Amino acid sequence: MSSSSQRFSGLIAAMATPVTASGAVDLAMVDRLCDFLVSRGVTGVCLGGATAEYPRFESAERLDVLRRAARRLPRGTTILVAIGSASRERTLDLGRAAFDLGCQAVLLPMPLFFPYQQDDLAEYAADVASALDGPTLLYDLPQFTTGLDAATTIGLLESHPRIVGIKDSGGRLEHFPKFAAARGARPWTLLAGDDRYGLAALQTGWDGAISGLAACCPELLLALHDAFRRDDLASARRCQIHVDELIGRLAPLPTPWGVKAVLASRGLDTGPTALPLSAARRAEMASLAAWFPGWFERTGLALSPSRHDSVA
């Protein structure tokens, strides 16, 4: 298990959860998605977050995915597991099982559905982190849960030894320099969760990203990170423009649906959406899948044949 002093960095892909035609978790496709992401060079994989549609699945199904991925991913791959649920007890069960199965840290989103005050969120996060024997990253997801204020986040990072960082999906640019400046000597992990601001986060000293777009187009996000690490800001900015273009095409759809459409266009069918599709939605999904290959080729990011795996 990782110590609480470990920092996580690089590009971590937020993997989609594949299902069969009947809606059951497709474990064979979990293998193929793991192979696809590793072959592209991601630092790690995040399971059970928003891109994985965590409210859709029972705890047992989520743990089946984790067991399969933990067996498939090569040694040295960072594995992070989001443990959000509708109850404290289920969250703790998921967190304990995740550590037992070898994940390096868990991501803790705030509770679903009801709005809460900041004191409620701070108490919840501290309580869960205290009960888990391993590092916890806060997961700020204000589109679907009560958002964490900057003061709440910094207070938890400063006061709780097992809360070691944050995945910030809130898209609030003012948080990037604020969290980096407050980090001081303690090695908090700062990971961007909103791909619109991936480059901005890196430029303000953040460690990397947990990226939903990397679930279906890891090459683009890796190119951005690689260009930044080489101090080639012109190339990094061009990559961010491509990221924004891809986000623009996915934006009319719920994020996991767009990711599924792109993956299908790449030969990785992750199964039906959680809800039935209208004729208009089917047309949107088909249009996105048809558009992606030509757009991807125009970016100049296609891999050489020697780096393609068997599912490309």
pLDDT tens-place string over residues 32-60:
999 999 999 999 999 999 999 999 999 99
CA 36 to chain centre: 16
For β-strands 189-192 and 163-168, DSSP reports them as parallel
Residues whose CB falls within 8 Å of the CB of residue 266, separated by 6 or more in sequence, listed in order: 36, 216, 292, 293, 311, 312
Q: Quick one: average pLDDT of 220-238?
A: 97
Write down the pLDDT at residue 5.
Answer: 58
Higher pLDDT, 263 or 301: 263
DSSP label at residue 42: -
- 5-35 confidence digits (pLDDT tens): 578 999 999 999 999 999 999 999 999 999 9
* pLDDT at residue number 308: 35
Confidence of residue 184 (pLDDT cuts 50, 70, 90): confident
Strands (E), 153-295: 163-168, 189-192, 208-211
Tokens of 116: 């809460």
Residue spans of the domains in the chain: they are 10-218
The whole-number average pLDDT for the span 213-218 is 98
Closest CA to 296 of 249, 227, 257: 249
pLDDT at 6: 74
Q: Specify the CATH superfamily of domain 10-218.
A: Aldolase class I (3.20.20.70)
**Predicted pLDDT at 187:** 84
- Helix, strand, coil shares of the chain, percent, nearest 5, are 50, 15, 35
Q: How far apart are CA 48 and CA 16, in angstroms?
A: 8
What confidence tens digit (pLDDT) does each residue in 241-299 have? 999 999 999 999 999 999 999 999 999 999 999 999 999 999 999 999 999 999 999 99
Q: What is the pLDDT of residues 130-183, one digit of tens each?
A: 999 899 999 999 999 999 999 999 999 999 999 999 999 998 999 999 999 998
d(CA 85, CA 49): 10
Buried b (16+ CB within 10 A) or exposed e, 138-172: bbbbeeebbbbebebbbbbbeebebbbbbbbbbeb
E strands, 100-143, where?
105-109, 136-140
How far, in Å, CA of 218 to CA of 16, rounded? Answer: 13
pLDDT given at position 312: 29
User: Which amino acid type is present at position 145?
Assistant: T
Q: Kindly state the tokens that stand for 57.
A: 């699945």
pLDDT at res. 302: 62
Convert 189-227 to b/e letters by CB count within 10 Å (16 or more is b).
Answer: bbbbbbbebbbebbebebbbbbbbbbbbbbbbbbbbbeb
- Residue 289 CA to residue 96 CA, distance in Å, equals 38
Nearest to 106 by CA among 115, 114, 95: 95
pLDDT value at residue 124: 98
Whether pLDDT at 304 is above 50: no
Residues 6+ apart with CB under 8 A from 294: none
Instruction: Find out whether 124 and 98 touch, Cβ atoms under 8 Å.
Output: no
